Chain A
């Protein structure tokens, strides 16, 4: 088990800060004057978000044809982006729920950050299927409400409707989990607030929390329950997303390995995103003593492990395609690696399977530039994985007469770029206005270590 204080390379908190110093460091980020670099970053990501809004406005006013989706590739960039963003979210829930149940204390200073990432990733993901359906103003038809005058109800025998329930439940429960975790820290910000506006806003958000022992008693039970509920939930979300594919009959999609393969890939990509953002954030806000090399190294180890699972899944898919003796299945996989989208396949293999192998070396695992580069590669590779699964399977299925090619339009590309803008904008707002490290949990961990 990792120690809280000890040698610099394995400690979870460096330099024995006092409780008040933890408060000052974390709450100080929110209370200081907005740094100029934040405004520069916000201007950039905010502009990208406007690009997203413009693209969605153009799509709605013109029609779904401004995207490159066609027949046979009816699910293209939009569903690729959806699966990609949902996957990113998984690291947050894994860190906050599963590692909590396993009493992995190193989760403590990164869970808030990762949970916020989950929420923003789910928000980005939800945009794509909503606009994919073509008439987003009728998106509420996805929910079981007796809609229009026809008395239509959703078809619950379809995995697509399971997906609606899985993703919306996931988003909602993640929000609850995140908010419950924030309440004690919001009370800290309320108690430190100088201006009237801050007192009112943080006062309302903290719901009158006063840290009473009776509060904590129920609070810790609620937190444990949410962790216990989120654990099967996070495993279910990408399993159900994978059913969208696996339950169909399309060669390349119709495989039983999809649920565990998707879940492992989701955790893999999510951890890559946490590392990408955390390397920057801890430097920018001077949090090196709370988010230590130990945290980053552990995350890199998780990436290595899940990267191996993903690599194994790629191999098994090919083996089963050969072993099944099904000519369509065999063709789908030969076409995946050597067909017109083979370049995407090899980007995926290089970034997802080969790049994380560098993490076998401790030197690489503990090098900030190396892990930043590899995490970016994994993000890229995991996006390509979804692209490969969706587009390469759809574009050549059973009958050659029905084959086709997909090319993204400029709207596709700018919408994807814009979704990153939205994600990063939400993130910048989060680090500006909310404590990005859970102060009460870090203090609790420090006190437990002191033997109190």
Chain B
């Protein structure tokens, strides 16, 4: 815990940048200087920010794939079990179960489950929904959903020095550099 200006625990520091290019430049520069826990709040997905932050490719695709396979398998099981075990009914001499006629429902359930997995997985990985986050305390936070680009340097332990981080942000062109409390 590092003592902030008001004495409470510090989440990090943040400043606003005028455009995405300046934000990206500042992110790269701060990473070079050894700040590892960086984030940004932007009104749209900024191209190239993943590399600047060293973010890995989102694993959501695997989550959706697993859910899709489960959906298709579940649908096949459902159609086989209801049609041949729970309620076998001869209709036009057709077999109780056949793979061909089971394709449409299996496809639909695969898509349904994969879509839910993609959306719920995205929310879970992002820790949403949530009511509060320290970055909301920044005086320019509301600009970040309009036309502002917020750069956040998160505290990475007791050796974090907010004053030095603030200075770094200012020197890279950040405005309204502020300390964010937890």
Residues of A whose CB lies within 8 Å of any CB of B are 18-20, 23, 144, 146, 151-157, 159, 161-162, 165-166, 169, 172-173, 176-177, 179-180, 184, 187-188, 190-192, 207-222, 225-226, 229-230, 232-233, 236, 240, 243, 439-441, 443-444, 447-448, 452
Contacts and interface: CB of A to CB of B under 8 A. Distances in A.
B145 A165 contact: no
B122 A156 contact: no
Contact of B82 (A18, A144, A188, A444): A144
17 contacts: A23-B146, A151-B86, A155-B89, A157-B94, A176-B119, A184-B145, A188-B145, A192-B146, A207-B128, A211-B41, A216-B45, A219-B122, A222-B60, A222-B121, A229-B118, A444-B45, A452-B19
Instruction: Sort chain B's interface into a size bin.
Output: 35 or more
B104 A240 contact: yes
Interface string B109-142: 1011011101101110110111111011000011
A176 B53 contact: no
Contact of B58 (A157, A207, A218, A229): A218
A177 B119 CA distance: 8
Contacts of B130: 207-208
B64 to A, nearest CB: 5
Contacts of A176: 115-116, 119
A157 B128 contact: no
Given A220-B45, A447-B46, A192 B142 contact: yes
A207 B146 CA distance: 17
Given A191-B141, A216-B49, A447-B47, A23 B89 contact: no
Nearest to A446: B44
Closest 5 CB pairs of A and B: A19-B147, A222-B122, A207-B129, A444-B44, A221-B58
Contacts of B68: 229
A218 B44 CA distance: 13
Contact of A221 (B24, B104, B122): B122
Given A157-B94, A211-B145, A226-B118, A144 B129 contact: no
Contacts of B121: 218, 222
| Secondary structure type dominating chain B contacts | helix
A69 to B, nearest CB: 24
A390 to B, nearest CB: 21
B182 interface: no
B53 A218 contact: no
B104 A166 contact: yes
A213 B46 contact: yes
A207 B128 CA distance: 6
A179 B128 CA distance: 14
B46 to A, nearest CB: 7
Contact of B111 (A212, A217, A233, A441): A233
A191 B130 CA distance: 15
Contact of A225 (B21, B118, B128): B118
A216 B49 CA distance: 10
B61 interface: yes
B118 A209 contact: no
A91 B104 CA distance: 22
Given A213-B42, A222-B60, A447-B44, A232 B111 contact: yes
Nearest to A225: B118
A179 B122 CA distance: 13
A144 B126 CA distance: 34
Given A23-B43, A230-B115, 5 more contacts: A165-B108, A191-B146, A192-B142, A209-B145, A218-B60
B82 A153 contact: yes
B68 to A, nearest CB: 8
Nearest to B50: A217
A310 B81 CA distance: 40
A156 B82 contact: yes
A218 B104 contact: no
B58 A217 contact: yes
B20 interface: yes
B144 A169 contact: no
- Of B126, B141, B147, most buried by chain A (CB within 10 Å of CB) is B126
Given A169-B108, A169-B111, A214 B145 contact: no
Contacts of B118: 221-222, 225-226, 229
Contacts of B86: 146, 151, 153
Contacts of B61: 221, 225
B101 A156 contact: yes
A244 to B, nearest CB: 11
A180 B55 contact: no
Contacts of A440: 43-45
A46 B133 CA distance: 41
A438 to B, nearest CB: 10
Q: Kindly name the residue among B42, B49, B142 whose own CB sees the greatest number of chain A CB atoms within 10 A.
A: B42
Nearest to A215: B126
A229 B79 contact: no
B107 interface: yes
Nearest to A188: B145
Contact of B40 (A212, A226, A233, A439): A212
Given A20-B146, A162-B105, A236-B107, A447 B87 contact: no
